[in-house]
Structure 1
Amino acid sequence: MTTETIFSNARIVLEDEVLDGSLVLRDGRIADISKGSISKGEDFGGDYLIPGLIELHTDHLEAHYSPRPGVRWNTTAAIQAHDAQVASSGITTVFDCLRMGSDEDGGFEAGEMREMADAIAGAAREDRLKAEHLIHLRCEVSAANVLDDFSDFETDGLVRLVSLMDHAPGQRQFQTMDQYELYYKTKRGLSDEAFAEFVRKRVEASERYSRRHRDQIAAHCNARGIAMASHDDATLDHVEESIAHGVKVAEFPTSIDAARASHQAGLSVLMGAPNIVRGKSHSGNVSARELARHGYLDVLSSDYVPLSLIHAPFLLSEGEEGVALPKAIAMVTSTPARTVSLDDRGSITIGKRADLVRVRHISGVPVVRSVWREGNRVV
């Protein structure tokens, strides 16, 4: 039986324009787009209609699973709480980040991330979730056990993105010691001697493991056709290494030179939407707004604040960066979809999945009024 839904009097954000018009959904797909209002269907009252947001990198699930140090929440309950928040932010496809690799000073126990992935798949089977959940493995290549954790996912079809990370001090995210001291000395209350030992061990682990683990994980992803992301590239050498590994996404480059080189090489440069909302990086690195002004920003990620993913594009379209609204919305819809080969979604185009968001823009902060995934209203 054919099911049809009609939206009218909407400001439809297409890839190259905003169209005042109407939309017809049929059997979970976009069936027709027309200019002007029609007398039947749901009247949007001039609200925006945009594609469902696609989130490639969020650590937000961890905050629900481990809400306090040492506390573990029920996995299914944590996933549902996370899902409710991302869906109400307009996100219809979310790549949940699972951490691969840890050390004696933190991280999760062996097997915990595998249990989380199984719980995500189980929640989807039981129709508990509003958004579609895929998996992004965040691989700390300087960790001795990263390959052990990664081996739990070698045949998991939900894994669609893998990032290669090295958070050792003195490079990438932590090119200077100021921020590293804040993260790992001040917050943990380490003495000078303890902090010096902490730094020594991480530099040593990076030198011992990073290159070998990066090469092995990249080879596996290329063999399986899994998209890869670099992480915190700071130099041209970092970018060249990423290109050689077949990386598609340049996550959070920390310098304008690395962002420029990545963008010019055809990588999708991803920055945090909270960086746009706050106007600066929380780590003191290059500003996402600066990259947008230069035309080097391609994709936004909510990172740790789900609502920022719909807030940031409207801020960019209103700010000094000169980013038109369709281009800004593309940073959270069609560009991430194209980057990771989700070709059935990401734009309001006839034949694409009817993943859609009704948005009212009020006083600088947009309000998500309704969300549809594959034509079904979920919010």
Structure 2
Amino acid sequence: MIIINSSVITANEILEDYAVVINGDTIEKLLPMNEVNTEDYGNVINAKDGYVSAGFIDIHSDYIEGIIAPRPTTIMDFNIGIKESERILSSHGITTMFHSLSIYKEDLFGHKPVRQPDNVNKLIHAIHRTHSEKHLIRHRMHARFELDSVEMMDKIKEHIEENRIHLLSFMDHTPGQGQYRDIEKYRHTMKGYKDLSDDEINAQIAVKKELSRLSVEEMETMSELARSKGIAIASHDDDATEKIDFNESLNTSISEFPITMEVAKYAHSKGMYTLAGAPNIMLGGSHSGNLNAQDAIMEGCISILCSDYYPAAMLHSVFKLNRKANYPLTEGFKLITLNPAKAVQMDDEIGSIEAGKKADLNIIRLFDDYPTITECIVNGKVVSRYHYRID
């Protein structure tokens, strides 16, 4: 297979008027178009002057929860949900998805039955089975462990030992710190999910603050087990430099959603990968009133963008950064390809367009300045194809 008439976005530059040669599931070489004889190839894809990028790697997204639990009282078939999700995800250029499931003792928002422990356990098994079945994209599991979910610790350790988990993060959604350090923001968020009075919310806050949490020793045990299996450790909603220092002691290498610019810069200076949500870029800021992702990217202290809850945001955020802030496309695409691949130790196979790496690629064309994935390719095979009608 060969992709012709393209601008190839590599890790360091954009190669204009180039072709990408694919041999089986692997990128064989890049060629200037003046060296290409299309008759040498059986399958020719014309990018029509569009871009070719590496496939997007999304290491934090709970999108699968909405597919499987589309209504508060509804649970759809897990296997069907995974199959349906990958068709949607590939249309947005996501070729590797870390399904980010929350491990809660109790979901205070109470609006996602898929977050109940039994359902989380079933979904982890379903994601793991996908690897041995026909599938369109690469599925991985990101276990987001809430610190008060003490009863789930042994089950998560079992999943780690059985290679069902590929990224582990520690979370603490206790109101008054982290994402919800602003109690009034927390009240507003809660009222968006439930019809609750201030007194009822205060009662829930009091219960949450009294719950038992993992000890430092238990966190160290889980972290060491994960590292022994080659699994990266992430922190979540860091709101102080002291938390970064503590997380560093747990061998944490990813700081997800740092709350302030100061914390993002400090984590970055420590050599951690720093992650923000691509929807933050599209919205012009955090929906929780925290760090502005575009500002942090321009300051050089955010290294990864994830879809979080909106898959389309990965592609559109990169082009918005380029269009509105003059951020180079090569650097923008690294936020959703090579950098996340490095963070989860997959960059030896995917994350950039290089000879010898897996042929996970996207062809991107602009229709009236609207970026569109016209072809998504995984392991050298086209898994989705879309074109706007011109007539």
TM-score range for the pair, normalised by the shorter chain length: over 0.9
Distance 1:186 1:373 in 2: 39
Match of 1:311 in 2: 316
Q: 1:324 aligns with which of 328, 345, 349?
A: 328
State the Cα distance separating 1:210 from its structure 2 match.
6.1
Q: 1:122 aligns with which of 121, 126, 129?
A: 129
Q: RMSD across aligned C-alpha pairs, in angstroms?
A: 1.8
Question: Which letter maps to 1:121?
Answer: H
Alignment of 1:162-177 (within 5 A): 162-177=168-183
Match of 1:290 in 2: 295
1:228 correspondence with 2:225? no
- Going from structure 1 to structure 2, the CA distance change for 1:45 and 1:39 (only over 3 Å counts) comes to farther
> After superposition, what is the alpha-carbon deviation per residue over 1:217-269, rounded to whole angstroms, capped at 9, x for unaligned?
22322333210111000110011111111111111001111100111111111
Residue aligned with 2:223, SS: helix
Question: Which letter maps to 2:205?
Answer: V
State the Cα distance separating 1:130 from its structure 2 match.
1.1
Percent identity, aligned pairs only, is 28
Distance 1:122 1:72 in 2: 19
Distance 1:185 1:111 in 2: 27
Residue aligned with 1:305, SS: coil
Distance 1:149 1:68 in 2: 27
Question: Which letter maps to 1:58?
Answer: S
CA contact (8 A) 2:293 2:302 kept: yes
State the Cα distance separating 1:213 from its structure 2 match.
4.8
1:16 correspondence with 2:22? no
Distance 2:95 2:128 in 1: 16
Match of 1:62 in 2: 65
Match of 1:91 in 2: 94
Q: 2:147 aligns with which of 127, 141, 147?
A: 141
1:112 correspondence with 2:116? no
> After superposition, what is the alpha-carbon deviation per residue over 1:98-146, rounded to whole angstroms, capped at 9, x for unaligned?
221222754633332221122223334230x211101100101123433
Q: Comparing 95-104 with 68-77, which one deviates more in the overlay?
A: 95-104
Alignment of 1:1-379 (within 5 A): 5-20=1-16, 21-37=18-34, 38-40=36-38, 41-103=44-106, 105=108, 106=110, 108-127=115-134, 129-185=135-191, 187-205=193-211, 208-209=213-214, 211=216, 213-320=218-325, 322-342=326-346, 343-379=348-384
Residue aligned with 2:179, SS: coil
Residue aligned with 1:10, SS: strand
Distance 2:131 2:71 in 1: 26
CA contact (8 A) 1:144 1:205 kept: no
Question: Which letter maps to 2:9?
Answer: V
Q: Comparing 336-345 with 147-156, which one deviates more in the overlay?
A: 147-156
- Going from structure 1 to structure 2, the CA distance change for 1:53 and 1:372 (only over 3 Å counts) comes to same
State the Cα distance separating 1:374 from its structure 2 match.
1.0
Distance 2:174 2:226 in 1: 23
Question: Which letter maps to 2:173?
Answer: H
Distance 2:150 2:195 in 1: 25
> After superposition, what is the alpha-carbon deviation per residue over 1:314-363, rounded to whole angstroms, capped at 9, x for unaligned?
1112222x421011101111111111110211100011111000001233
Distance 1:158 1:354 in 2: 24
Q: Comparing 241-250 with 151-160, which one deviates more in the overlay?
A: 151-160
Moved over 6 A (4+): none
Distance 2:91 2:358 in 1: 19
Distance 2:279 2:219 in 1: 28
Question: Which letter maps to 2:184?
Answer: D
Residue aligned with 1:181, SS: helix
Which 5+ residue runs of structure 2 have no aligned equivalent?
A: 39-43, 385-391
State the Cα distance separating 1:22 from its structure 2 match.
1.0
Distance 1:210 1:368 in 2: 46
Distance 2:29 2:192 in 1: 57
Distance 1:145 1:34 in 2: 55
CA contact (8 A) 1:315 1:364 kept: no
Distance 1:186 1:297 in 2: 29
Distance 2:194 2:362 in 1: 41
State the Cα distance separating 1:39 from its structure 2 match.
4.5
> After superposition, what is the alpha-carbon deviation per residue over 1:143-186, rounded to whole angstroms, capped at 9, x for unaligned?
34331442441323241111110000110101111221012245
